């Protein structure tokens, strides 16, 4: 075998292997076939049945094709009339595809019915509002009163049904956490609902799944499923007012916040800041990421964001601010104290 044909043959094998590992790489962050709830499990069953049915059909077609190619090599005309018989066309061409498609449609209709059923009693109710390009998250009590507000990071207890009320503040978005449930749209002027129950603890990434403008791709969020005790202590902290400045740097930082006009768009409960155009910052430091999972919530990223939000998310609805180094440093001290 020549050198180059060896190279191309090996390249082919490497390519096939890479193709096999591709889904594994993808599964690291958001995967509909690694379910963490009964709802997502149902969806993954449908996915796998479609996959196996399609695989069987693919293999059958390839075998027939190969066999035809093999037969076609001979110069003598071969008698293939039984392949073109009417029975074969009716059975393999009409009956089998029809039955297969009907089974798959029936399965997904039944799944859709069970997914759209009402949640069991005792569900935790959360209202999620989509904004270009971030998620507002409000926890509701039994009287639909908001008890805590946060952004881009939904904490939930495992093994408890979660009922979501999905709304939009501007255009259509879609709420999607592949490991927990299918997509539900957030539509201006109406409230959609959806529910699921996580049965494994973990952090699951979600993503807006309906094109909503320039930063649609950077409109992610995290769902943190944790034990009941962990969730309760998290919620208790979120319900409390913000930390008051405890030293001269954080006090100066708070003054920079108000002098720069950040309060026009942001709320910090326990202060006069009550803006609603941007995420609630009362417990900003407790979050893992900023700007809808675009950056880790570190001092450097926070500084970069405040100095030039559009440098990180072009089109982001937050203006840049011209602060000197000392002002920025104080402001960061203050924001990082809001845990
Ligand atoms: C005109 C309204 C507006 C003003 C003024 C404004 N912001 Fe924002 N801010 C936003 C919006 C909208 C977002 C969400 C952007 C996104 O993720 O796409 C945001 C996001 C943020 C975030 C990230 C929060 C998170 O959890 O993701 C921080 C921190 C922040 N702003 C701090 C500030 C500070 C500090 C100031 C004052 C220097 C300020 N903002 C001024 C609108 C504003
Ligand atoms: Cu979107």
3-class secondary structure for 304-323? HHHHCHHHHCCCCCCCCCCC
Q: Residue 182: what pLDDT?
A: 93
Q: Residue 90: what pLDDT?
A: 87
Residues of the chain with pLDDT under 50: none
User: Whole-structure pTM over 0.85, yes or no?
Assistant: yes
Testing ligand 1's pocket by substitution, the residue of 137, 265, 300 carrying the most ligand atoms inside 8 A of its CB is 265
Residue nearest to atom 17 of ligand 1 (CA): 291
- Could you report the per-residue pLDDT of 288-332, keeping only the tens digit for each? 999 999 999 999 999 999 999 999 999 999 999 899 999 999 999
Rounded Cα–Cα distance for residues 219 and 254 (Å):
28
Q: Edge-to-edge strands of the sheet including 184-186?
A: 153-157, 220-226, 202-208, 173-176, 184-186
Residue nearest to atom 37 of ligand 1 (CA): 262
Q: Residue 161: what pLDDT?
A: 96
137 within 8 A of 152, measured Cβ to Cβ:
yes
Q: Residue 138: what pLDDT?
A: 98
Mean pLDDT of the chain: 90
Ligand nearest to the CA of 216: 2
Q: Residue 79: what pLDDT?
A: 62
Rounded Cα–Cα distance for residues 319 and 310 (Å):
8
* Angle between helical axes of 325-336 and 299-307 (0-180°, round to 10): 130
Residue nearest to atom 8 of ligand 1 (CA): 318
Backbone dihedral region of 202: left (phi > 0), alpha (psi from -120 to 50 degrees) or beta? left
Residue nearest to atom 19 of ligand 1 (CA): 278
Q: Residue 137: what pLDDT?
A: 98
Q: Rounded to the nearest 5°, which phi and psi values hold at 9?
A: -65, -45
Q: Residue 136: what pLDDT?
A: 98
Ligand 1 site residues, Cβ closer than 6 angstroms = 133-134, 151-152, 215, 257, 260-262, 264-266, 277-279, 281, 284, 287, 290-292, 302, 305-306, 313, 316-319, 321, 331, 335
Residue list, CB under 5 A from ion ligand 2: 173, 208, 212, 216, 219
Q: Residue 71: what pLDDT?
A: 79
């Amino acid at each position: 075998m020549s050198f180059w044909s060896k190279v191309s043959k090996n390249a082919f094998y490497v390519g096939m292997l890479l193709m096999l590992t591709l889904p594994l790489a993808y599964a690291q962050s958001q995967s509909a076939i690694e379910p963490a709830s009964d709802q997502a499990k149902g969806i993954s069953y449908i996915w796998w049945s479609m996959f196996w049915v399609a695989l069987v059909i693919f293999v059958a077609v390839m075998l027939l094709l190969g066999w035809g190619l093999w037969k076609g090599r001979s110069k003598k005309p071969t008698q293939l009339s039984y392949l073109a018989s009417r029975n074969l066309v009716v059975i393999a061409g009409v009956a089998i595809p029809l039955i297969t498609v009907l089974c798959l449609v029936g399965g997904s209709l039944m799944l859709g019915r069970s997914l759209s059923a009402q949640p069991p009693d005792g569900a935790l109710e959360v209202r999620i509002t989509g904004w270009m390009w971030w998620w507002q998250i409000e926890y509701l009590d039994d009287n639909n009163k908001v008890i805590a507000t946060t952004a881009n990071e939904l904490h939930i207890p495992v093994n408890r049904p979660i009922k979501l009320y999905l709304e939009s503040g501007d255009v259509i978005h879609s709420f999607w956490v592949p490991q927990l449930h299918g997509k539900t749209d957030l539509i201006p002027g109406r409230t959609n609902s959806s529910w699921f129950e996580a049965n494994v603890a973990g952090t699951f990434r979600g993503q807006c799944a309906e094109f909503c403008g320039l930063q649609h791709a950077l409109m992610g969020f995290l769902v943190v499923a944790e034990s009941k005790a962990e969730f309760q202590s998290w919620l208790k902290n979120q319900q409390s007012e913000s930390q008051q400045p405890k030293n001269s740097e954080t006090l100066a930082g708070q003054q920079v916040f108000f002098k720069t006009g950040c309060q026009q768009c942001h709320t910090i409960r326990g202060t006069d800041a009550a803006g609603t155009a941007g995420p609630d910052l009362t417990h900003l430091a407790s979050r893992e990421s900023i700007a809808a999972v675009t950056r880790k919530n570190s001092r450097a990223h926070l500084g970069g964001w405040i100095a030039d939000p559009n440098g990180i998310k072009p089109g982001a609805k937050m203006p840049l601010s011209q602060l000197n180094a000392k002002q920025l440093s104080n402001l960061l001290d203050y924001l990082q104290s809001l845990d």
